[in-house]
Structure 1
Amino acid sequence: MTNKGIWLAYETTKEQIETIKKIAPQFEVIKGWDKTNELDFPLDDIEIIYGFKGQRSKELMESKNSRLKWVQGQAAGVDFLDIQGLKRNKIVLTNGSGIHSIPIAESVFGMLLTYTRGIQEAIKNQQTSTWNQTESLMEINGKTMMIVGTGKIGKEVGRIAKAFNMKTIGINSNGHTVEFIDETYSQEELKKQVCRADIVVNILPLTSKTSHFFNDELFDSFKDKTLFLNVGRGPSVDSLSLIRALENGKVGFAGLDVFEQEPLVKESPLWNREDVLITPHISGIAEHFKKRLFAIFEENLKAYVANETLPLNVIDYEKNY
């Protein structure tokens, strides 16, 4: 009988590999993170992929002999994967939702405080040994933060916001309540409610409904000098609309970790704006990433070998998240 394989497409520790072998002894474990184009195992006999980022996707999706049944994504976002191919082949997709909650939430407040407490300007002045005391700094205490996308990251952002004594407003698909969020509204109500926010944090996934979600019409509904932070998906914000909002004063500061095109092109006017802070898509990076991603996979693997429904982070192909 042909062996069944688990392809480890993401670097995995010796201890984690032993855990996999203990849970699923009937599978051959393939260490494939450093050889994504060549595997010492038949591609068609791989049943599970861990840390999937689309490697050899075309072959997997088009092969009539593929035994692939489940892929564990490496990231929370799945918009860059062949969703239609996975759906067509009835392959279960799970993502890394939740593993980024703490570092991304910390990055949100890092970017925010860099602006409100004058740290960004101080770093710039330090390069020229310039002592420049400003008198126009802000407190975030008591401010209203709108969190657009109240999943696991949004909830963690809300938790930290409460420590700063901030009022929190959440936006999600249907307005359901979320812990640490004072008020919640549906996406359809965002335009009406956004004028109440001093700070808007975008944490939206990328779907057909959220592409260029932040556009001229929405930015025009902001109150003047709103602080805007984007740690969701780059294409959910129309870059040209954001630049116009910065120029007309609707956005007073933008902290941006994600962009429509990455890397951000050198010609982008965003690079040279003093009211913009750019980080190179690093908000989700932290030392516990591997441990947290594997914890999701381990729990799901136990269910998989027991022929049970996977309990964590299963993607709904109708919503793409």
Structure 2
Amino acid sequence: MRITMTTPAPDDVVSLAETLDGWQLDGGPLQLHPGDLGWFSMRGIEATASAMRVWLREGRPVAIGLLDGDDLLRLGIAPPALDDGELAAAIARSVADPSRGVLPAGVVSVEARGADALAACLIGAGWGTGDPWVPLHRDLSDPVEATPLRVEVVEGDLVEPWSEVHFSAFRGGEFTDAVRGRMVHNWQTMAAGPLYDRARSLLGRDEAGTPVAAAAVWSAGHGRPGLIEPLAVRRGQQGKGFGRAMTLACASVLRDLGASSATVCAEASNPAAVATYASAGFTAAPEVPDLRRHA
């Protein structure tokens, strides 16, 4: 059966996120999650649609990709199609040819966890492996232990301190008025968009009331794995247990949203992050590298 690839219209993004909902399975690979689309939607729903690629069989999505930057394609594949050789070959052709509008020439990466057929296709075509990642998972059947942080759901005036903590953790430097304005605008764009309905942004304060941690959690619907993306601890405040405490808060909120489990993926090169999630009851799966074309 013929497989085609398309770039969706903005009006199609929500239905494709709902398709990704159904592909999230406990015990399955940690693939592209609807929360990844939601986080990307800080750029706007039109930009999110433009960054997506969808592979269709008989008009139905069997793989959904997100171009997360110029050189990285992140994939979610329908679980029954993870070992589908025909689909793997179609995706491999799409990513190999820059004229198809997926990836450019040169060094590029594909994140396709659990897609053994695609990995075999690309490695057979001369691709290698790239950065290794550690998927982590915590079952949410039972209540989550209390966190020592005071955790607030972000809205209104809390957007600015949430943005400042996130900036401090991932970028550092001076939180200028221009940076503040841009980050608050991006958060507001995301929160006003159609992909944020089942998400929560969280701000954690220490005993003195100082914002020390920020995170967002994303539900894929009742009885499915939820995602933590991102989780940040203010620079200079690491090593004090705030990461573990915020992770517990995220897991608790996901449980309240109906998630069956909480998932997160950490760079294998960041053992402190892996240890933080493990200390909050997460179990690490074996490392999974991206697939990389080196030339």
| More strand per residue | 2
- Point out the structure with max Rg over C-alpha: 1
> Greater RCO between the two (CA within 8 Å, min separation 6)?
2
Q: Tell me if both proteins adopt one fold, taking TM over 0.5 as the criterion.
A: no
TM-score under structure 2 length normalisation: 0.28
TM-score under structure 1 length normalisation: 0.27
